[in-house]
Amino acid sequence: MKASIVLYTSDLRLHDHPPLRAAAREAEKVVPLFVRDPGIEKAGFLAPNRAAFLADCLGDLDAGLRERGGRLVVREGDPVRVVRELVGSTGAERVHVAAGLSAYARSRADRLRAALEEAGAQLVEHEAVITALPPGEVVPGGKDHFAVFTPYHRQWATQRLRDPLGAPRQVSVPSHVRSDEVPRRADVPGVSPALAEGGEREGRARLAAWCRGGVGRYEDLHDDLAADGTSRLSPYLHFGALSAAECVRRARTTGGAGADAFVRQLCWRDFHHQVLAARPAVAHEDYRPRGDRWRTGRAAEREAAAWREGRTGYPVVDAAMRQLAHEGWMHNRGRLLAASFLTKTLYLDWRLGAAHFLDLLVDGDLANNQMNWQWVAGTGTDTRPGRVLNPLTQARKYDPRGDYVRRWVPELRGVEGRAVHEPWKLGPGAYEGYPAPLVDLAEGRDRFRAARERG
Ligand SMILES: Cc1cc2nc3c(=O)[nH]c(=O)nc-3n(C[C@H](O)[C@H](O)[C@H](O)COP(=O)(O)OP(=O)(O)OC[C@H]3O[C@@H](n4cnc5c(N)ncnc54)[C@H](O)[C@@H]3O)c2cc1C
């Protein structure tokens, strides 16, 4: 075959990439294509941190392709129009793409299929590679998705995952195909100061280091806020710079309790994806409505703003929110308590919190963000929707020495030990510039419980 096109979407890698492998095998020339789609940019999916990380991923993909004799072709516009044009100019007979999971991706594939048929070419849609196991692969009898994690995990864990593919050795791109400039992180304004570096190479180096070391201590350290003992692989997985299936396979060969605990988290990722794939509306609607009438009005707005700024007066919540602003990433335990504080203690709509997280999270995606927010808010798949996380108890348990708070809340750096979690108990002058608690925890909890009982 003369030429094939590989359309990259959220799978920005060379390794374990079935569309690239298939194209490189069947055709003399391959066009590895990434289309900057104004539709996606307009919908707000490319907040600055993710735009910067994406630029890193594209730059790295281009570099990896160049090492193999090729290059990345970047274009801007409607992907269907761009692909059609390239089919015309290269004579490509096939366009390879990995199946997307979102409604947008599905409609893009339908439009592409129709347009290619007209042009006498064929769309080859490979299985979804965003998750380790594609949504719909395991389902309970008579239903289209699992609504509870534990039975999903039980079945998921018994499935054989496909063998990860190596990267192709050689990719030859038709010389006459022009490309726009590959985007650069330096051109993206408003990026968090300590945003991680993106790209497949960086992701693979982190995965290798993680499997050699970190994962062994994951079970013990994953909830310890100050230890930073999680993999931090989420953004690489989000952009597909790493293959989830490969992460599972490599962690499993590492073995040990830490690997099991880590793989279980990757299963959570697949779980949320299969819920959203089956119920796309729950990106914005309650999965299990509880009759909430979330607080609105001036006080509610003021409290939401204090939460966003990391000025709630509860140090562990504020530390987590400030980590988010600084790194574009937040520790999972921090995400849980910041989200519980907003939705339950302050009784504010989970959508407010989810939107703020999506503005900043480098790994922010609809499935994991919205479904985790709903899980915490008790409108999602949590089987104990009424639980309220107490930030003080949580802080004592998961930041027992107070180091996480001191790292992120400079106003409290002079306070020693766990006293840092209750600054209001220290005399005046022991700390300066740090706000008083926004709300009494017991009052917040009772308000939430009363609302849910009424609902
Ligand atoms: C309110 C809230 C919002 C969240 N928003 C997102 C989001 O937008 N994108 C996102 O990837 N994760 C989200 N998470 C899940 C989780 O917090 C992050 O995946 C994790 O903190 C990423 O850090 P890590 O890579 O070090 O994770 P590790 O602990 O090393 O876990 C390994 C991988 O498993 C997956 N994972 C871990 N925990 C979860 C989980 N609870 N749900 C789904 N996948 C998980 C991630 O891909 C992660 O990279 C959210 C959690 C909460 C409570």
* pLDDT, tens digit (0-9, with 9 covering 90-100), for 381-420: 999 999 999 999 999 999 999 999 999 999 999 999 999 9
Window from 66-75, 101-110, 268-277 with minimum mean pLDDT:
101-110
Euclidean distance between the first and final Cα of the chain, in Å? 62
pLDDT band at 421 (very low <50, low <70, confident <90, very high): very high
Ligand 1 pocket member 259 (CB < 6 A): no
Predicted TM-score (pTM) above 0.85? yes
Ligand 1 pocket member 361 (CB < 6 A): yes
CB under 8 Å to 281, separation ≥6 — which residues? none
Give nearest CA residue, ligand 1 atom 47: 234
Regarding predicted confidence, which is higher, 244 or 426? 244
Give nearest CA residue, ligand 1 atom 29: 230
Probe target for ligand 1 pocket from 152, 260, 275, 332, with the most ligand atoms within 8 Å of CB: 332
Probe target for ligand 1 pocket from 50, 152, 269, with the most ligand atoms within 8 Å of CB: 269
CA 182–ligand 1 middle distance (angstroms): 29
Probe target for ligand 1 pocket from 233, 264, 368, 369, with the most ligand atoms within 8 Å of CB: 368
| Pair of tokens at residue 296 | 């609105």
Give nearest CA residue, ligand 1 atom 40: 268
Ligand 1 pocket member 232 (CB < 6 A): yes
- Average pLDDT on 343-371 reads 97
Give nearest CA residue, ligand 1 atom 19: 234
pLDDT band at 274 (very low <50, low <70, confident <90, very high): very high
Q: Is the pLDDT of residue 275 over 90?
A: yes
CA 281–ligand 1 middle distance (angstroms): 21
The pLDDT of residue 150 is 97
Q: Are 65 and 32 in contact (CB under 8 A)?
A: yes
> At which residue do the structure tokens 């350290």 appear?
221
The pLDDT of residue 409 is 97
pLDDT tens readout for residues 319-355: 999 999 999 999 999 999 999 999 999 999 999 999 9
The pLDDT of residue 44 is 73
pLDDT band at 432 (very low <50, low <70, confident <90, very high): confident
Q: Is the pLDDT of residue 208 over 90?
A: yes
Q: Is the pLDDT of residue 238 over 80?
A: yes
CA 286–ligand 1 middle distance (angstroms): 20
pLDDT band at 130 (very low <50, low <70, confident <90, very high): very high
Ligand 1 pocket member 373 (CB < 6 A): yes
Sign of the four-CA dihedral 389, 391, 397, 403:
positive
The pLDDT of residue 35 is 97
CA 368–ligand 1 middle distance (angstroms): 7
Ligand 1 pocket member 97 (CB < 6 A): no
The pLDDT of residue 31 is 98
Ligand 1 pocket member 230 (CB < 6 A): yes
The pLDDT of residue 455 is 74
Q: Is the pLDDT of residue 241 over 90?
A: yes
- Among residues 366, 402, 185, which one has the least CA distance to residue 279? 366
The pLDDT of residue 102 is 83
Q: Return d(Cα 13, Cα 2) in angstroms, integer.
A: 23
Q: Is the pLDDT of residue 103 over 90?
A: no
The pLDDT of residue 415 is 93
Q: Is the pLDDT of residue 244 over 90?
A: yes
- Average pLDDT on 299-303 reads 98
Give nearest CA residue, ligand 1 atom 1: 373
Per-residue burial over 222-261, b if 16 or more Cβ lie within 10 Å, else e, is: bbbbbbebbbbbbbbbbbbbbbbbbbbbbbeebeeebbee
Amino acid (one-letter) located at 252: R
Give nearest CA residue, ligand 1 atom 20: 332
Atom of ligand 1 nearest to the CA of 330: 21
CA 24–ligand 1 middle distance (angstroms): 33
Q: Quick one: what percent of the chain has pLDDT higher than 70? A: 100
Q: Return d(Cα 113, Cα 126) in angstroms, integer.
A: 13
Ligand 1 pocket member 346 (CB < 6 A): no
Give nearest CA residue, ligand 1 atom 17: 332
- Average pLDDT on 50-69 reads 98
Atom of ligand 1 nearest to the CA of 271: 43
- Average pLDDT on 201-228 reads 96
CB under 8 Å to 385, separation ≥6 — which residues? 288, 290, 378, 379, 452
Atom of ligand 1 nearest to the CA of 266: 34
